[in-house]
Structure 1
Amino acid sequence: MSARERAARSTHDGVRVLPLVGAPVLPMPAHVRQAVADAMNQPDPRNSRGLPELRMAIAAELRRDHGLRVDPDRRLLITHGAMHGLSLVLRTMLAPGDEVIVPTPTFFFDGLIRESGATPAYVPSLEGDGWALDPARLEAAITPRSRAILLCNPNNPTGYLPDAATIAAVVDIAARHRLLVVSDDSWQHFTYDGRHYQPVEAFADRWPHIVTITSLSKYYALATWRLGYVVAPPAIIDALERRLQWEAVCCGVVPQRAAVATLTGPRDWLDRALSTYQAKRDLVCDGIAASGLPDPVRPAAGAFLLADCSRLGKTPADIDRTLLRHGIATIRGADMHAPDTHVRLTFGSSNQVLNELVNALTQAHQESATVRP
Structure 2
Amino acid sequence: MPSPASRLSDRISAIAPSATMAVDSKAKAMKAAGEDVIGYGAGEPDFPTPDYIVEAAVAAAKDPRFHRYTPAAGLPELREAVAEKTARGSGYSADASQVLITNGGKQAVYAALAALIGPGEDVLVPAPYWTTYPEAIRLAGGNAVDVFAGPEQGFKVTVDQLEAALTPSTKAILFVSPSNPTGAVYSEEETLAIGRWAAEKGLWVITDEIYEHLTYDGVPFTSIASLPELADQVVIVNGVAKTYAMTGWRVGWMVGPADIIKGATNLQSHSTSNVANVSQMAALAAVTGPLDAVHEMRTAFDRRRRAMVDGLNSIAGFDCPTPAGAFYAYVDVRAALGQEIGGVVPQTSAQLAEVILEQAKVAVVPGEAFGPGGFFRLSYALGDEDLKTGIDRIRDLIGKA
TM-score computed with the length of structure 1 as normaliser: 0.91
Cα deviation, residue 78, structure 1: 0.6
Q: Note the 1:301-312 alignment, pairs <5 A.
A: 301-310=325-334, 311=336
Taking the aligned partners of 1:190 and 1:8, their CA distance within structure 2 comes to 26
**218-227 or 286-295: bigger deviation:** 286-295
Other structure's SS at 1:122 match: strand
Match of 2:120 in 1: 97
- Residue-by-residue CA offset, 1:273-322 (whole Å, 9 max, x unaligned): 12211111110001111233433121110111211233155322431233
1: CA distance between counterparts of 2:287 and 2:114? 29
Match of 1:210 among 234, 245, 249: 234
Deviation at 1:167, TM superposition (A): 1.8
Q: Say whether 1:366 aligns with 2:388.
A: no
1:254 shift after superposition: 0.8
Query: 2:199·2:229 contact (CA, 8 Å) conserved in 1?
Result: no
Alpha-carbon separation, structure 1, partners of 2:300 and 2:246: 18
Q: Which residue of 2 aligns with 1:326?
A: 360
Q: Which of 41, 59, 64 is matched with 1:42 structurally?
A: 64
Q: Could you list the runs of 5+ residues in structure 2 that have no partner in the other structure?
A: 1-18
The aligned residue for residue 15 of structure 2 is: none
Contact kept? 2:319, 2:333, Cα under 8 Å:
no
Assess, with a 3 A threshold, how the Cα gap between structure 1 residues 235 and 204 changes in structure 2: closer, same or farther: farther
Q: Which residue identity lines up with residue 42 of structure 1 in the other structure?
A: P
Cα root mean square deviation, aligned: 2.2
Aligned to 2:184: 160
Give the whole-Å Cα distance in 1 for the aligned partners of 2:254 and 2:318. Answer: 38
Partners of 2:389 and 2:204 lie apart in 1 by 44
> Per the alignment, in what secondary structure is the counterpart of residue 276 of structure 1?
helix
Q: How many residues align?
A: 366
What residue is the counterpart of 1:263 in the other structure?
287
Structure 1: runs of 5+ lacking an equivalent: none
Instruction: Name whichever of 138-147 and 167-176 sits farther off.
Output: 167-176
Q: Which residue of 2 aligns with 1:85?
A: 108
Q: 1:194 to 1:238 in 2, by over 3 A?
A: same
> What is the aligned partner in structure 2 of residue 193 from structure 1?
217
Match of 1:344, SS state, is: strand
Match of 1:62 among 82, 86, 92: 86
2:45 maps to which of 9, 12, 24: 24
Once the two structures are aligned, what percentage of the paired residues are identical? 26
SS of 1:74's partner is helix
Task: Name whichever of 116-125 and 33-42 sits farther off.
Answer: 33-42
CA 59–92 in structure 1, closer or farther in 2 if over 3 Å, else same: closer
Distance (Å, rounded) in 2 between the aligned partners of 1:15 and 1:342? 25
TM-score (ref. length: structure 2): 0.85
Letter in 2 for 1:318: Q
Residues 330-369 of structure 1, C-alpha deviation per residue, up to 9 Å, x if partnerless? 111011003x2211111111111111122112112229x9
- Greater alpha carbon shift after TM alignment, 51-60 vs 236-245: 51-60
**Equivalent residues of 1:153, 1:162 under 8 A apart:** yes
Alignment deviations for residues 85-110 of structure 1 (CA, whole Å, 9 cap, x no partner): 11111112111111111110110111
CA shift, 1:3, in A, is 2.1
Contact 1:175 1:207 in 2 (8 A): no
